[in-house]
Amino acid sequence: NAGVTQTPKFQVLKTGQSMTLQCAQDMNHEYMSWYRQDPGMGLRLIHYSVGAGITDQGEVPNGYNVSRSTTEDFPLRLLSAAPSQTSVYFCASSYLTGTGADTQYFGPGTRLTVL
Amino acid sequence: AQKITQTQPGMFVQEKEAVTLDCTYDTSDQSYGLFWYKQPSSGEMIFLIYQGSYDEQNATEGRYSLNFQKARKSANLVISASQLGDSAMYFCAMRGYTGNQFYFGTGTSLTVIP
């Protein structure tokens, strides 16, 4: 049981380049999400999904695309990287709940630098 | 709107002492969950403890307990008998019934002094 995996762990991009951050989970969780973590700002939600084929925007979606073709995978695409997207990115997953219960499980994070 | 507030950017505690990390929240949901996560310097996010809005007892997990005061909308984390390994960032989070999204506070950096 690998939990939530993310690749790559580190990435350096030039302004204007595109790339995809990969995320996969093997716990059959319906809910998956992407966050970015910046100093002093906690974790901010970029996009999330409540099941295959269903995605929605979070607090800071601009410059990012997602898709959810399977339950297991939830890739995050940076369309045209900007220095403001330099951050640590976390993918997380959990069961859906009607009561607010069930914690998220986090991947190890991707440290992205945009020059 | 859902919001989590952590007002202590940094805290220090002596080894073996107890420490309380503050968290207040705002939500219009009747049913919600409150969570605490630990992020050590290595960067991973570790789930510590959960409290449901309808739970009458405060949650406990080993040395961690959650002081839940629903009327005051507070969910403070208490760490008893602090250890050097407790030095880390601590995040409070809330998950509402509406939308299933998690909302995070800005975190508290805890340093345990030997």
Using a pLDDT cut of 90, give the percent of chain B over it. Answer: 82
> Residue A65's closest CA among A43, A85, A41?
A85
Mean pLDDT value of segment B91-108 = 87
Mean pLDDT value of segment B72-80 = 97
Average pLDDT, chain A: 93
Q: Tell me the per-residue pLDDT of A33-52, one tens digit each, with 9 for 90 and over.
A: 999 999 888 899 999 999 99
Q: Tell me the per-residue pLDDT of B19-67, one tens digit each, with 9 for 90 and over.
A: 999 999 998 888 889 999 999 999 999 999 999 998 889 999 999 999 9
Q: What is the pLDDT of residue A100?
A: 60
| Chain A residues 36-55 within an 8 A CB cutoff of chain B | 40-45, 48, 50
* Tokens coding A25: 């989970």
Burial class (CB in 10 A: 0-12, 13-18, 19+), B39: buried
Nearest to B104 among A42, A88, A99 (CB): A42
> Which residue on chain B is closest to A36 by alpha carbon?
B104
